[in-house]
Structure 1
């Protein structure tokens, strides 16, 4: 099914801003998927073959090893090289100690070097700027409260009505306010020149961070790109595609059992893994970079190229719809957004995403009726052909801007 989504009119950054960084990003994140194409022939020969509709390109498929973690419903990739392959070729997964890119080790190294050079790291600079902004707001609020108290005192003593001013020499502004200087602390005594310097530099720590893939991401890499193998943590054996398909569904139907081989529960057509994977596969197949959207209270965020290039264009909310209402009444799965949500929730969600220049999309996934399909169909990914997706784009109505 084709998508009708079109990029929004977000303003692009200035041409001279961080041009060098963008050039590095174009080089580092040149591949949109882990698969790469190798061309053994020169460009002239490739152009001739292209006119004939032929190609001799070879597909290089990397092999990444992951371990299934049933407690977090995710797949862990511990090898640093393999983690960067998945991140830099499609932005798959996230570091468990990072916000997105697995950069914990780089941050530790930068912090060590910044401390040796007596300078602040980027995270410390950001924290300092936020603290100063918070202090400015507190100082401004105190100044405004003092002016209001003075006006009330004049009214009580002299009967004069004075409107409290919100600006002036006594009220700080963003252009004139400066943070108060910090009190100087007593520095430790420095050794004499005759004392030999002792180097006590600790070695850099080992990388303890792993890349964490969601189950839809892991199955997309496994089933569509064939570049991921998944290991069972209990048996240390590789899982087959058939076993992974049922394991991923069972992860949402039963609590994790460590060290126990419990039977797979009865599979359901409204399994949350199926619903989320269908939407993830749909937009990934259309060329979008799909990331989690919990930051903006949605299910997915859609990027045109990736989070290092630009902001997300669309916010997607997955809305399951039962083909047969009786299946919903008899379902044992508490499916998120299966029940109609209120207009206040929709208005709030739309307002949040509109303020950050994102278009809200409601992706309705139709769940097939159990009356026309057997539960045996869920044993294979072929059951996905019985699901369908409809997209509804929601835009915020602003009367003052939309009168024409």
Structure 2
């Protein structure tokens, strides 16, 4: 059982502000599979409900993705299915976007920009531009205040308070009072097409084709296929694969001999796909939204509800532990963090995540010994029952802040 469940944690930093109500409507379903109560039901349904028999119908989207071994991912090219998987559980990421597949929406906004309906990436870009402009304005004000103080000192006058006008007005802007200039607010409008003369007629423009696809990692794709049964994985020829074929292919994709047309090595419990999927499945089954943490030098980030609601509360570092040390010696896989790491590395990772208000968690995955289990156990996902997951929570000690 996990030591960190969504119910016993305090609320994370909220995002969105007034948009929360709209986000609650769009992202109200935590998983692609939803349970719906039919509006028109025969009278017998009421009788079944009295006896405790479920009267809900299951709505399964049954999406389709294509496996790409080179990138170790599954691509969902249908735009409706991509948005469905994103809005119901935040699975995958757009290959042309930071997270949400919003490339088409950004292109449409670029054609008819009115300052409204900005996507999350455009809002982030605007906020970063404002932050950069604030730093420039502040640096210029500080330099001007220093020059005035030096001039007053050279003339023998009383040096005024740096950055303060004679009437008491502060000349150096602060983050709380600074306002972006008019030219900065008009930056998004500069992305309009040069051929647009501003007559508002966009019907003559060539319609945009959505070339973005949703990119699922192997753990995400297998969780959707096996646990929820709402994703069909196809090969490069478009032929659907069985669950057993997907299970085998995802393991073989991590073999260093796969691209050399050499038969893959024997099935092993320390396959990177099995280790990472054990962690992914562990946290997903506890209700967390699991996303990649490469931005913060970790393996995974845990969100309470999703990226649009809160910032990630926890940063996960996967630490494989061999039950039999001999398996690590003869392993063809060089698992990251399987060997003892240095204190300087741990301090660096902990400091990075402390600065962004995330709690670092070392997730230890115990890999079963080959001498204890037969190799044919790995032929099905039932082998995951032999893995164990343990967590160690780390917090960076800051004496000046933690005395109280």
Residue 216 (1) aligns with residue 219 (2): yes
For residue 284 of structure 1, report the CA deviation from its aligned partner. Answer: 0.7
Q: How many Å apart are 1:56 and its aligned residue?
A: 2.3
Change (3 A) 1:12 1:71: closer
> In the TM superposition, what whole-angstrom CA distance separates every residue of 1:65-95 from its partner, at most 9, and x where no partner exists?
1000111100000001111111111111110
| Distance (Å, rounded) in 1 between the aligned partners of 2:46 and 2:358 | 40
Report deviation, 1:232: 0.8
Counterparts of 1:81-96 in structure 2 under 5 Å? 81-96=80-95
Q: Which residue in the other structure is 2:265 paired with?
A: 265
- Residue 390 of structure 1 aligns to a residue whose secondary structure is strand
Judge conservation of contact 1:221–1:227 (CA < 8 Å) in 2.
Answer: yes
Residues of 1 paired with 2:401 and 2:177: CA distance?
A: 34
Larger radius of gyration: 1
In structure 1, the partner of 2:192 is none
SS in structure 2 opposite 1:307? Answer: coil
| Cα distance in 1 between the residues matched to 2:2 and 2:331 | 30
Return 5+ residue gaps in structure 2 as ranges.
Answer: 184-198
Counterpart for residue 231 of structure 1: 234
1:237 Cα deviation from its structure 2 partner: 1.6
* Partner Cα distance (2:159, 2:343) in 1: 40
Task: Render the CA deviation track for 1:351-379: whole Å, top value 9, x for unaligned.
Answer: 32233332211110001112212322222
- Are 2:12 and 2:310, in contact at CA under 8 Å, matched by a contact in 1? no
Residue 77, structure 1, aligned to residue 76, structure 2: yes
Match of 2:295 in 1: 295
Determine helix, strand or coil for the equivalent of 2:397. coil
> Which residue, out of 205, 209, 232, partners 1:206?
209
Work out the CA distance in 1 between the residues paired with 2:126 and 2:337. 40
Q: Please give the TM-score of this superposition, normalised by the length of structure 1.
A: 0.81
Cα distance, 1:139 vs structure 2: 1.9
- The 2-side partners of 1:118 and 1:62 are apart by 34
Question: For the residues of structure 1 that align with 2:102 and 2:68, how far apart are their CA atoms?
Answer: 21
User: How far apart are residue 168 of structure 1 and its match?
Assistant: 4.0
Q: Which residue number in structure 2 is paired with residue 31 of structure 1?
A: 29
In structure 2, do the counterparts of structure 1 residues 201 and 375 end up closer, same or farther at CA, with 3 Å as the change threshold?
A: same
User: In the alignment, what sits opposite 2:286?
Assistant: 286
Aligned pairs, number: 377
Corresponding residue for 1:136? 137
**Unpaired stretches in structure 1, ≥5 consecutive residues:** 183-195
What's the Cα RMSD here? 3.6
Q: 1:343 to 1:146 in 2, by over 3 A?
A: farther
Shift of 1:215: 0.2
How many angstroms does 1:53 deviate by? 3.1
